[in-house]
Amino acid sequence: MKYPQGYLFLDEQTKLPLLSTVQAWFTAKTEIYVPGLSPKSKLLDGRIEQLAGMHRHIWKRSDYQMKCIVFNDTRVSQTFMLAHTTDIKKVYWIDSAEQAKEIKTIGAFIRESQRFSSYVDQCGDIYSDLADYILEKTGQTLVGDADIHRFIMGRAWGSTSEAEIHIRQIAKNETRAGVLMRFDLEGQTAEVHDAAV
């Protein structure tokens, strides 16, 4: 499939019609791919899985399941938006093969961020166990570790580190999360469509 590629994520319960009907919602020149309806593509399925994982991480929804339509155009079909306004969760974009590689790299750093978060949570649990044991044995609370305590309590209430915040923001920026129309690529797609004809 040519670039740019839009990855339109929909609510899992969205009922999609036949592939020919989905194609009719987009322009005739627009290639589309719908898992389960289109002939299988390992490459596009892999990218869908990657972007769905990013989506779950960015929006802190680890159990989110979605359907996806992949298309090569600079905008989400207005006809489709009218038919499925409430079903659309997010749109992500891949503009080139180079950007697809960069998104893979971001995915690796998201996994590192998740691993970091897990380790910090484990450290918080261990520190809490130590503090409880010290209190039980000595009757004293740990007052000299105010920064550690504040950090651990903040994590318990959902705060994240600056690094985790930046990784989420980089993922949003690189995929143009939520942008429905790519004005910055309008001329490029016209050239691609003309060359394809």
pLDDT at 43: 93
Interstrand relation of 32-33 and 5-11 (parallel, antiparallel or unpaired):
unpaired
Distance, in Å, from the CA atom of 154 to the CA atom of 69, rounded to the nearest integer, reads: 38
pLDDT in tens, 119-142: 999 998 999 899 999 999 999 988
Tell me: do 64 and 37 sit in the same domain.
Answer: yes
Tell me: do 40 and 95 sit in the same domain.
Answer: yes
Tell me: do 76 and 100 sit in the same domain.
Answer: yes
pLDDT at 44: 95
Tell me: do 32 and 100 sit in the same domain.
Answer: yes
Distance, in Å, from the CA atom of 71 to the CA atom of 67, rounded to the nearest integer, reads: 13
pLDDT at 176: 79
Tell me: do 157 and 61 sit in the same domain.
Answer: no
Tell me: do 115 and 81 sit in the same domain.
Answer: no
pLDDT at 63: 67
Tell me: do 61 and 25 sit in the same domain.
Answer: yes
Contacts of 84 (CB under 8 A, 6+ apart): 10, 14
Tell me: do 29 and 64 sit in the same domain.
Answer: yes
Tell me: do 114 and 96 sit in the same domain.
Answer: no
Q: What are the helix and strand counts (H, E) for the chain?
A: 7, 4
pLDDT at 190: 42
pLDDT at 15: 87
Q: Which two tokens stand for residue 155?
A: 């994590």
The model's pTM is 0.77
Into how many domains does the chain fold? 2
Q: Quick one: which of 187, 180, 188 has its CA closest to 75? A: 180
pLDDT in tens, 170-181: 888 888 776 676
User: Side by side, which strands form the sheet with 88-94?
Assistant: 32-33, 66-71, 5-11, 88-94
Distance, in Å, from the CA atom of 21 to the CA atom of 3, rounded to the nearest integer, reads: 22
Which segments of the chain have a pLDDT < 70?
62-63, 178-179, 181, 183-197
3-state secondary structure of 16: coil
pLDDT at 42: 94
Tell me: do 135 and 77 sit in the same domain.
Answer: no
Tell me: do 49 and 124 sit in the same domain.
Answer: no
Element (H, E) at 33: strand 32-33
Mind spelling out the 3-state secondary structure of 87-134?
A: HEEEEEEECCHHHHHHHHHHHHHHHHHHHHHHHHHHHHHHHHHHHHHH
Q: Which residue range forms the structural domain that includes residue 72? A: 5-104+176-196
pLDDT at 188: 60
Q: What is the sign, positive or negative, of the torsion defined by CA atoms of 54, 94, 186, 79?
A: negative
Q: What is the mean pLDDT of the chain?
A: 84
Tell me: do 79 and 27 sit in the same domain.
Answer: yes
Distance, in Å, from the CA atom of 2 to the CA atom of 189, rounded to the nearest integer, reads: 9
